Structure 1
Amino acid sequence: MNARILALLILVWTAQPIAAQQVLVEAESFPSHGGWKLDTQFIENMGSPYLLAHGLGRPVDDAVTEVEFPETGEYRVFVRTMDWVARWKAPGKPGRFQLLIDGQPLPETFGTEGAEWSWQDGGKVQIKNKKTTLALHDLTGFDGRCDAILFTKGDEPPPNESKILPKWRCQLLGIPEGPIEKGGYDLVVIGGGYSGMGAAISAARMGCKVALIQNRPVLGGNGSSEVRVWSQGLIRRGRYPRIGEIVEEFADKAKKSPGTYEEFEDAKKERIIRAEPNIELFLNHHAFDVKTEGKKITAVDAFDTRSGAQKRFRGQLYVDGTGHGTIGYLAGADWEMTPNGRMGMSNMWAWGEGEKPVAFPQTPWALDLEMKDFPYPRDHHGQWFWESGFDKDAIGGAEAIRDWNLRAVYGAFNAMKNRDGADKHTTAFLTWIAYIGGPRESRRLMGDVVLTQEDIVDKRQFTDGCVPSTWSIDLHYPKKQYAEKFADNPFISVAVHDRRIDRGYGYPVPYRCFYSRNIDNLFMAGRCISVTHQALGTTRVMKTCGMMGEVIGRAASLCVLNDCTPRQVYKEHWDAMVDLLKLPGKARRATVKDEIVIPEDALSLAGPFGPMTGLDPSKLEGIVVDDKQAEQTGSWTVGEGLPGYVGWNYLYAFKDASIRFDLPIAKSGTYEVRIAYQPHENRGNQVPVTISTGEKGRTVRVNMKQKPPLKEGFISLGTFDFTKGEKNFVEITTEGAGGCVHADAVQIVRKD
């Protein structure tokens, strides 16, 4: 349909006496969704939220509503839906559903036509009662979807446009043309993930009036029960170890990814936000338009994803925590998106085992997979590497990326149940698949500093470095082993790490990465900050993103107090900002002009390496030198997974690495030398440990597969005579070790 015909249709439709002739029912407005899920993640693509029958192959309960018609009689029915696998010309129609009218299904089955969203003709129906019950009746459990239902006395379908809240829809739904004004905010935060939550809580506690807008029913973003990515990145360390204390309050404690629903504690996150008197929380509100004057945002428009009612949020400052840089993009902020080699979207999944055989429907429309085509789901989980959409359109093609991921998961489970894995998986059944995608990379908004990989690896020091990034530079690419069969769109990734990151102290990311260089009152936090593609590999993990929000909240309070821009905080008020960064996370004031109060339950100050999670070296016998105090050569990886270590963590390496522990000999004499390590089956059984006393050296071989015999996980290397003032040290190397080498701590105990 060309633009002229579409425009004429809109004119015809908006000129008709709508109330007496048409009844529009938005699926998201059904008061009972039954087993259907409200999907809001592709509104920019197709113009609306919709209901999704995500039943893992089992039909979901009906979504039900009651509609009052202006008059009875014959109506033509149109349902906006799609055949979601048709874009790939896949066989079968997995998204089939019926429309029940007062319990009776229409003859037409929906979700069977069209590779794109469109109005499927349901034929004519006699409406006998003004009050009529409608139900969406799922037939498959395989992600059928419905946007809206139109009853009309005419025969023409409505315009099939993807514009958000077109005028004709608003007229039919009785939505006022003008939005409800919501003003008086100091800070408007769009996005309720870790970065948005951190910004909202931090600003509110520093006296700002905050609006927090989230288009999902839960908070946490990728760290919610909907996506279930466990929160990573270390907090409470570096220059400002108070930063991260707010994240500590709401971060999940999941032990693996994906974790369980309970581990992500959606209710706790919401409870923490609602406990802040300076925050107004707007769940299920999608921000879709931005108003600007010159280089400033003046308002953000959002609509209630359940009713369509619009609100206009006005504030002094705004935070883009959308992950996609959506608010910045709409405001005209400078942005970039790496054209090739981008990371994709994940949709993790899980399966369980019953006591009796469980059937699973054949899935001819899914990816054609055998067991060799994907990694076996370890621990009954399809983990982070179930990822696709590399170099696809991460914004406009997001729904297709998510749907391709679903086809991959269903194809894999079909192989397990109905193909070459059938004998082993007779009792297996799906328990969860993420229908909300976990995107990793799209737009990045440009600030006064664009952080690079070289900045991080070389430890370039910025005066405003404040958020410690401790994750390796972790970039994802298609894994060649599984990429050949679907070369155009692989669905299994591999992580390529640059581990030259200080994972203990962390690299301090500068504040100037957190505000727009050309929109004067726009902050950004999360995946859309001002970094290169490579630097994004370390800054993108959720706890790090949450700390960005904490810093922004403190800066916002200075902007309000001094009536200045985010840039001016750095140029004119940085000393005051440093003072705020040193405050506990629970410090608060009612307004930006009030005195700051530190409550009794504030966390104790952590050190530059964060809260100690292992044995306290100061409480052990003798003198203990932790790995934090040692000099590393080569590539060592930080570990915390094996309990009982000394200090903050331990280190391990496989090859071409050494670590030197200098011994602080205060008085010459004879000392017993011990080292601590965590045993493991992959450890070396001939690990060389050299004890140097002045010009002499002696090497002892340690079998790290075996449990250390002494308390606190130490093993004795013997007694040695040390002279004060000479070069006294212990060095552990990987050469000839016979496996992985572990380094934790060295203990010396005086014996004479």
Structure 2
Amino acid sequence: MKQLKTLLSCLCLLLFAATGASAQQHVFVETESFKDRGGWVIDQQSFPVIHSSYLMAHGMGRPVKDASTTVTFPKKGKYRVWVRTKDWAPFPKGPGRFTVTVGEQALTPVFGESGNDQWKWYDGGETTINSEEVKVALHDLTGFNGRCDAILFTDAAKFTPPNNVEALTAFRNKLLKLTDTPKDAGNYDLVVVGGGIAGTCAAISGARLGLKVALIQDRPVLGGNNSSEVRVHLMGDIDKNVYPKLGRIVREMDNGDPGNGNPDANEYGDARKIQIVKAEKNLALHLNTHVYKVEKSGDKITAVIGRDIATGQDYRFTGTYFSDCTGDGTVGYLAGADYRFGRESKAQTGESLAAEKPDSFTLGTSNLWASLPKDTESTFPETPWALQFSKEYHIDEPKSDWEWETGFGNFNTIYQAEQLRDHNLRAIYGNWSYLKNHKKEKYAKHQLAWVAYIGGKRESRRIIGDHVLTQMDIQDGKQYPDGCVTATWTIDLHFPNEKNSQYFQGQEFFASTKHIRVAPYTIPYRCLYSRNISNLFMAGRNISTTHVAFGSTRVMRTCGMMGEVVGYAAHVAKKNNTSPKGVYEKHLAELMGIIKD
């Protein structure tokens, strides 16, 4: 009997604990879903790492307007507030300070200055909720890239939200009622993932030949590195083509040559690119959608899953053919496509320009910037948390060009995209602070007009096709039967600038190059589809090349022509009910005929 009573008592305690747990109220707020983002911007570049987007106060040293939203609470009462953030540039406390306001109450803690550069939850203290709907706001204090991923309100006094990415993702999805079943976004002949120049041209090309096409882009604009978010001009010639009619769509995308880092966003033609795409009746455009999952059957992709970077809603795109135009080879990687990352060795490729040993060295990422002269003087604060410059070494320029580049094997361009971008920002702000405070005679009346917060990547994964383009193919001018895209850019492999390395060993942010000029040559069609995923095309910087050959194929007009060929090839594949490889093996003449005519 005593044992029975003990058992019943334990059961009662468990029941009480379970009842108490079920009564806990958690209110999870994604900052990227704020109704009014004010001056804050959405950053999704680290989605592969933190499985989320976040808001960032990118004010170039000037505090931005508050971001705010209305939060609905299940009941009134006391809640503990948790804020997920990081100190992106601790020294020992960094510059990204901000506060959170709940209703009329500004929470006491200042966030973003912890000295910890890892994403984690910070205790914001208790707040009293007196109504069902309450305004919540993020208040930037510095304009120096403070960031906030999420805010959690809980009435459980001893509850700490999970910080592990997998556990946090499950917790987030449960509270936001995000189901495991994505919304159906339709079935397509061709699903193009990546809305840079290559992907946009691929989508238009396929649509104009009658394919039902989806174009999925993870940003609000098209053009990738040629958009107003990154501002790199188009390079590579389209008037030296073996097949002169190839490149017509690239010409439509071309907004002239505004140079690199032009402070006028309109020079990059964002609206024009979107207008051209939306005019295509067979083309469905999905902006702000980050593809992070692939469904397969055997060696075929059957669907990709994309998440709206603001709402968190998942969408499922099914299709017959898919084209990876992400630059990072994201779709191929998720599907298990063969790929390479970094440099091959001379022994592997036989290339004279290859490395002595294989390694993970890649060309870097740029965040361009520009200042403009003003009528009056302005100030810029000292930046002890940034890279430090001196009379002996600083970069005496009012704006950047391509040389402002970080990476070179010191950062993984995919999984350390946030740290890489932040390193670029520390270099930009540190150098600008030096110019403003120590070269006033020249820069007193200059003001930062624009700094990119989206990184312009050059290199990451390269998906392997039935042909891997090499240095010898380029320099010998080999003309293969499936040679289609004419490339003209030099073999242009960047490396750390020697003087920059002397002052910032292992933290280089400035590049040099040696242009190895080549005669126009053609890229084989076999470089534009995966050798082991049977319905996957690719176009852009992630096509099948060695690292050395990539140095020539990576420029955007050339990548755009790759996209055009992919659209044509998808049309031929569908017409003949075959694979991308089948087009090469059995229908190459038909494809080349379209390219010619």
Q: Please name the residue that 2:338 is paired with.
A: 334
Q: What is the identity, as a one-letter code, of the residue corresponding to 1:206? A: L
Q: How far off its partner does 1:262 sit?
A: 0.9
Q: What is the identity, as a one-letter code, of the residue corresponding to 1:130? A: E
Selected match of 1:407 from 426, 441, 454: 426
The answer to whether the 8 A contact 1:80-1:149 is kept is yes
Q: Please name the residue that 1:390 is paired with.
A: 408
Deviations 1:686-717 (A, max 9, x none): xxxxxxxxxxxxxxxxxxxxxxxxxxxxxxxx
Selected match of 1:512 from 523, 526, 530: 526
Q: What is the identity, as a one-letter code, of the residue corresponding to 2:511? A: S
Deviations 1:112-163 (A, max 9, x none): 2221111111111111111100111000000000111000112322111334
Q: What is the identity, as a one-letter code, of the residue corresponding to 1:365? A: W
Residues 319-398 of structure 1: pairs in structure 2 closer than 5 A? 319-338=323-342, 339-377=359-397, 380-391=398-409, 392-398=411-417
Q: Please name the residue that 1:577 is paired with.
A: 591
Q: What is the identity, as a one-letter code, of the residue corresponding to 1:166? A: T
Selected match of 1:217 from 220, 227, 245: 220
Q: What is the identity, as a one-letter code, of the residue corresponding to 2:379? A: A
Q: What is the identity, as a one-letter code, of the residue corresponding to 2:554? A: R
Q: Please name the residue that 2:12 is paired with.
A: none
Bigger radius of gyration: 1
Deviations 1:506-541 (A, max 9, x none): 211111000000000011111100001111111100
1:430 maps onto 2:448 in alignment: yes
Q: Secondary structure at the match of 1:404?
A: helix
Q: Please name the residue that 1:102 is paired with.
A: 103
**Aligned mates of 1:482, 1:166 — CA distance in 2:** 40
Unaligned 5+ segments in structure 2 are: 1-16, 343-358
**Aligned mates of 1:125, 1:75 — CA distance in 2:** 5
**Aligned mates of 1:255, 1:495 — CA distance in 2:** 22
The answer to whether the 8 A contact 2:161-2:168 is kept is no
**Aligned mates of 2:22, 2:267 — CA distance in 1:** 52
The answer to whether the 8 A contact 2:211-2:282 is kept is yes
CA separation of 1:477/1:108 partners in 2, compared to 1, >3 Å: closer, same or farther? same
CA separation of 1:464/1:54 partners in 2, compared to 1, >3 Å: closer, same or farther? same
Q: Which moved more, 1:167-176 or 1:218-227?
A: 167-176
**Aligned mates of 1:371, 1:244 — CA distance in 2:** 48
**Aligned mates of 2:278, 2:181 — CA distance in 1:** 28
Q: Secondary structure at the match of 2:39?
A: coil
Q: How far off its partner does 1:341 sit?
A: 3.9
Q: Please name the residue that 2:495 is paired with.
A: 477
CA separation of 1:358/1:233 partners in 2, compared to 1, >3 Å: closer, same or farther? same
Residues 83-122 of structure 1: pairs in structure 2 closer than 5 A? 83-86=87-90, 90-113=91-114, 114-122=116-124
The answer to whether the 8 A contact 2:162-2:168 is kept is no
The answer to whether the 8 A contact 1:371-1:412 is kept is no
Deviations 1:324-353 (A, max 9, x none): 111101100000011244211111100112
The answer to whether the 8 A contact 1:374-1:492 is kept is no
**Aligned mates of 1:46, 1:77 — CA distance in 2:** 21
Q: Please name the residue that 1:464 is paired with.
A: 482
The answer to whether the 8 A contact 1:237-1:243 is kept is no
Q: What is the identity, as a one-letter code, of the residue corresponding to 1:432? A: W
Q: Which moved more, 1:225-234 or 1:96-105?
A: 96-105
Q: Please name the residue that 1:133 is paired with.
A: 135
Q: Please name the residue that 2:71 is paired with.
A: 67
**Aligned mates of 2:427, 2:593 — CA distance in 1:** 51
1:448 maps onto 2:462 in alignment: no
**Aligned mates of 2:371, 2:578 — CA distance in 1:** 53
CA separation of 1:275/1:371 partners in 2, compared to 1, >3 Å: closer, same or farther? farther
Q: What is the identity, as a one-letter code, of the residue corresponding to 1:124? A: E
Q: Please name the residue that 1:243 is paired with.
A: 246
The answer to whether the 8 A contact 1:223-1:252 is kept is no
Q: Please name the residue that 1:289 is paired with.
A: 293
Residues 204-283 of structure 1: pairs in structure 2 closer than 5 A? 204-259=207-262, 260-283=264-287
Q: Please name the residue that 2:322 is paired with.
A: 318
CA separation of 1:124/1:235 partners in 2, compared to 1, >3 Å: closer, same or farther? same
Deviations 1:552-577 (A, max 9, x none): 00000111111110001011001111
Q: What is the identity, as a one-letter code, of the residue corresponding to 1:410? A: Y
**Aligned mates of 2:550, 2:246 — CA distance in 1:** 20
Q: What is the identity, as a one-letter code, of the residue corresponding to 2:503? A: K
The answer to whether the 8 A contact 2:85-2:111 is kept is yes
Q: Secondary structure at the match of 1:473?
A: coil
- From the two aligned structures, give the one with the greater strand fraction: 1
Q: How far off its partner does 1:184 sit?
A: 2.1
- From the two aligned structures, give the one with the greater helix fraction: 2
Give TM-score, length-normalised by structure 1: 0.73
Q: Secondary structure at the match of 1:408?
A: helix
CA separation of 1:467/1:414 partners in 2, compared to 1, >3 Å: closer, same or farther? same
Q: How far off its partner does 1:308 sit?
A: 0.7
**Aligned mates of 1:410, 1:163 — CA distance in 2:** 34
Q: Secondary structure at the match of 2:494?
A: strand
1:554 maps onto 2:543 in alignment: no
**Aligned mates of 1:531, 1:241 — CA distance in 2:** 24
Deviations 1:41-68 (A, max 9, x none): 1111221011110000000000110011
The answer to whether the 8 A contact 1:74-1:126 is kept is yes
CA separation of 1:441/1:556 partners in 2, compared to 1, >3 Å: closer, same or farther? same
Q: Secondary structure at the match of 1:474?
A: coil
Q: Which moved more, 1:335-344 or 1:125-134?
A: 335-344
Deviations 1:626-665 (A, max 9, x none): xxxxxxxxxxxxxxxxxxxxxxxxxxxxxxxxxxxxxxxx
Q: Please name the residue that 2:58 is paired with.
A: 54
Q: How far off its partner does 1:104 sit?
A: 2.6
**Aligned mates of 1:118, 1:55 — CA distance in 2:** 23
**Aligned mates of 1:229, 1:297 — CA distance in 2:** 32
Q: Please name the residue that 2:163 is paired with.
A: 160
Give TM-score, length-normalised by structure 2: 0.91
The answer to whether the 8 A contact 2:258-2:268 is kept is no
Q: Which has the higher contact order (CA 8 A, sep 6+)?
A: 2
The answer to whether the 8 A contact 2:495-2:512 is kept is yes
The answer to whether the 8 A contact 1:212-1:282 is kept is yes
**Aligned mates of 1:219, 1:300 — CA distance in 2:** 20
The answer to whether the 8 A contact 2:87-2:93 is kept is no
Structure 1 runs (4+) deviating above 4 angstroms are none
The answer to whether the 8 A contact 2:79-2:155 is kept is yes
1:300 maps onto 2:318 in alignment: no
Q: How far off its partner does 1:238 sit?
A: 2.2
Q: Which moved more, 1:402-411 or 1:289-298?
A: 289-298
Aligned length: 560
Selected match of 1:174 from 168, 173, 177: 177
Q: What is the identity, as a one-letter code, of the residue corresponding to 1:519? A: I
Q: How far off its partner does 1:241 sit?
A: 1.1
Q: How far off its partner does 1:236 sit?
A: 4.3
Q: Secondary structure at the match of 1:124?
A: strand
Q: Please name the residue that 1:496 is paired with.
A: 514
Q: What is the identity, as a one-letter code, of the residue corresponding to 2:295? A: K
**Aligned mates of 1:165, 1:577 — CA distance in 2:** 48
Q: Secondary structure at the match of 1:289?
A: strand
The answer to whether the 8 A contact 1:471-1:539 is kept is yes
**Aligned mates of 2:228, 2:121 — CA distance in 1:** 33
**Aligned mates of 2:234, 2:168 — CA distance in 1:** 35
**Aligned mates of 2:550, 2:167 — CA distance in 1:** 31
**Aligned mates of 2:292, 2:391 — CA distance in 1:** 42
Q: Please name the residue that 1:742 is paired with.
A: none
Q: Secondary structure at the match of 2:515?
A: strand
The answer to whether the 8 A contact 2:396-2:435 is kept is no
